[in-house]
Amino acid sequence: MGRVRRYRSFGDTEPQERNNVDPGIEAASFTKGAATYTVDEAIEKIGFGWFQVKLSFVAGLAWMADSMELMVLSILGPELLCQWQISTTEEAFLTTIVFMGFGIGSPILGYMADYFGRKTALIMAASWAAFFGMLSSLAPFYSWLLILRGLTGLGLAGVPQSVTYYSEFLPSKYRGKCIILLEFFWALGAFLEVALAMLLVNRFSWRPWVLVTSLPLLIFIPACLLSPESPRYLAACGRTKEAQKILIHIAKCNGSSLPSGTLIIEPETPRGRIKDLFTPEYRRSTFLIWIIWFVATLSYYGIVMLSTELIKTGPLCITVRGLPSASDHEESCKVGCHGLTQANYVELLWTSSAELPGLLLTAIYVDYIGRRTALVINFLVFSLTTFLMLICVSNRVMILELFITRALIASGLQIGFVYTPELYPTVIRAIGIGIANIFARIGAIITPFLAQLVSSNIPVNNTIPAWYRNRMTEYRYYLIRTSDTRPIRDRLGQTLSTVSIPPWFGSREKSGRVETVKMDMHPDEDMSLAFV
C-alpha cells in the first residue's frame, strides 16, 4: 500500500513500479465488470452547486478586469489627443500595441496553461498585467505609455484562459449557460470603467483612472491562489491523487458524492503541442475557428470604438445613391480638440449596458437551439443593424442602434468562448484557445485604424465589420461539431464513443484495458486545503 504498481498483463505476478504517479494511490487491474469512473463522470455526478457558484465569481473577476483594461482603449486615446497633442495615427497605435501584446502573449500563456497548469498561467498573467497597468498611469511621455500598454497587453493575453479553467469544473448540462453568464462580468467591467472615467477623468485626470483600473486584477490574484487546480488538467498529467482530492472537496462543498468505484488513470498524453491542432481530426475546425475569432473580435471592438467616435461626432449619413454627402458630413464630422463630456459618458454607459440584455437572452436559448444556430442568428441580425447605422437618424436613434448592435455582438462573441473549449481535448485546450487568440488580436489590431476612418470623412467604414460578420456567418456553417451539452474530451484521439459518458447521457462504453486507482484515504477525511 502506498505505491502504485503496474502489471504487464492480467496474469502477471511481477509488478513494475510507476514513478510518475503520486504515492498513496493503489492501482488495481481492470477486470470485466469492475466499477470505474473518470474525472468527467465525477464532475457530472457531483453536479452544479455552491463550489461552481463561488468559482463563477473568481473567473468572473478575471473577465471583469480584462474588460476594464480593454475599455480603457476607447477612452484614453481621445483624452490624450488633446492633452498630449498626439496625432490620430498615434491614438490608433495606443490600441494596436495592446493587441500586439495580446498576439504575442496568447500562445506563450496558452502553452504554459497546458504545461504548467491553469492556475500558474492565470496568476502569472494577472500579476504581469496589473504591474504594468499601474505603471502606465505614471508614463511621462507617449513613447513610455506605448511600451507600458504593450506590456500590459502581454499579460492580459492570459486572462481569457480563465474560461478554459472555469469550463473544466462545469457539468456539460450547465456549461453553455455558465460561460455565457460570465459575460455579465465583462459587461459589468465595461460599465464600471465608463462610470469611473466619468467620475475621475474630467475632475482629475486620466492617471488616477488608469491606476484604479488595475485593482480588480490585484483582487483576482489571491482569489485564484485560493482556488484549486483543474482536476481534468491534473488527471491528464498523471497527478491522480491531487485530482481525487479536489473532486472529493468539490463533492463535499456541493453536498454530493463521487460515483462508486475507482478513478481511472488515463494514459499520459503530451500536452500543449501546437502540431496537435493540425491533426486530421482538428485541422479543419482549427482553421475555421481562427477565421471566426478574427472577424468576431474585429466586429466587437469595431463597435466599441465606433461608439466613442460616433458619440463625439454625431450620426453618419449616406445619400440615396449610397455615397457620402460631402456638405453634411463635413459639418457633422468637424471635431475640435476636446475630450468626452459628461453627456458623452452617459451615452457610453447606455451602450455599454447593452451587453446585459443580449447575454440574458443568449443564455436562455444557447443550449436549446445549439451553439452554431445561435451564432448564425446573432451575426445575421448584427449585420442588418450595422448597415442601418448608415442611414441619417437622430442622435437618440443612433444610440438605440449602437445599443442593439453592442448587445448582439457581445453575446455572439461569448458563444464563441463556449464553443472553442468544447472543441479541443484537455491536453491542447489552452494552446488551442491561445492560438485562436492570436487571430482574434490581429482583427483587434486592425480595428482602431478602421475607427479612425470616421475622422477621415469616410462613413462607409461602418459597413466593414458587418461585411466580415457576414463572412463569419457563412464559415460557421462549416463547423463539424456543435458540442451542445455533451461531455468534453480529455486526450487526443478520444472520440465520442470512448468519452466517459455517465448513465444519464446514455450507454457507457469502455475500450481496451485501463488502469484504475483507489485513494488511500476516506472521502470524508479533512484535507485542510484552502480551496474556494
Contact status, residue 35 vs residue 510, Cβ threshold 8 Å: no
- Give the span between the Cα atoms of 526 and 245, in whole angstroms: 10
Q: Which pLDDT band holds residue 403 (cuts at 50, 70, 90)?
A: confident
Q: Which of 315, 313, 311 is nearest to 343 (CA)?
A: 311
Instruction: Report the C-alpha gap between 296 and 302 in whole angstroms.
Output: 10
Is pLDDT of 131 > 90?
Answer: yes
Phi, psi of 325 (to 5 degrees): -90, 105
pLDDT band at 524 (very low <50, low <70, confident <90, very high): very low
Q: How confident is the model at residue 270 (pLDDT cuts 50, 70, 90)?
A: low
Residue 29 domain-assigned? no
Residue partners of 431: CB distance under 8 A and separation at least 6: 107, 110, 111, 113, 114, 272, 273, 274, 277
- Provide mean pLDDT across the span 81-110: 83
Q: Strand 36-37 and strand 25-28: pairing? A: unpaired
Is residue 437's pLDDT more than 60? yes
Residue 335 has pLDDT above 50, yes or no: no
**186-200, 263-277, 415-429: range with lowest mean pLDDT:** 263-277
pLDDT (tens digit, 9 = 90+) per residue, 228-263? 998 888 887 878 888 888 999 999 998 888 888 777
| Residues sharing a CB contact under 8 Å with residue 409, sequence separation 6 or more, in sequence order | 296, 299, 300, 303, 378, 382, 469
Strand arrangement of the beta sheet that strand 515-519 belongs to: 25-28, 515-519, 262-265, 36-37
CATH of the domain at 454: 1.20.1250.20
Closest CA to 476 of 416, 418, 387, 435: 416
Return the ∠ at Cα 132 (arms to 127 and 309), rounded to 5°.
Answer: 120
Amino acid in the structure at residue 393: V
235 found inside a domain:
no
Rg for the chain, CA atoms, rounded: 25
Q: So what's the pLDDT on residue 123?
A: 93
CA dist 496 and 490 (Å) reads 11
**426/409 Cα distance (integer angstroms):** 28
User: Is 255 contained in some domain?
Assistant: no
Give the HSE-up count for residue 106: Cα atoms under 13 Å, Cβ half-sphere.
20
pLDDT tens-digit readout, 364-380: 777 777 777 888 888 88
Rounded CA separation 359/190 (Å) = 14
The vertex-290 CA angle with 287 and 292, nearest 5°, equals: 110
**471 inside domain:** yes
Residue range of the domain that includes 113: 46-229+273-476
User: Which residues, at least 6 apart from 325, have a Cβ–Cβ distance to it below 8 Å?
Assistant: 317, 318, 319
Q: What are residue 73's phi and psi, to 5 degrees? A: -65, -35
Position 524 in a domain: no
Report pLDDT digits (tens) over 299-312.
Answer: 888 887 777 777 76
Asked if the structure places residue 470 within a domain, the reply is: yes
393 inside domain: yes
Residue type, 319: T
Count of structural domains, the chain: 1
User: CA 497 to CA 114: how far, in whole Å?
Assistant: 25
Nearest to 300 by CA among 133, 186, 424: 186
Q: Pick the range with the lowest mean pLDDT from 29-43, 180-194, 405-419.
A: 29-43
Average pLDDT over residues 272-283: 76
Q: How far apart are CA 39 and CA 460, in angstroms?
A: 52
Partner residues linked to 264 by β-bridges: 516
- Is 509 domain-assigned? no
Instruction: Kindly state the cell numbers that stand for 477.
Output: 456553417
C-beta of residue 340 within 8 angstroms of C-beta of residue 348:
yes
> What does the pLDDT look like over 476-488, one tens digit per residue?
444 444 444 445 5
Q: Are 34 and 28 in contact (CB under 8 A)?
A: yes
Joined together, the cell numbers standing for residue 316 give 453618419
Cβ–Cβ < 8 Å for 293, 106: no
The residues, any chain, with a CB within 8 Å of residue 276's CB and separated by 6 or more, are 270, 282, 427, 428, 492
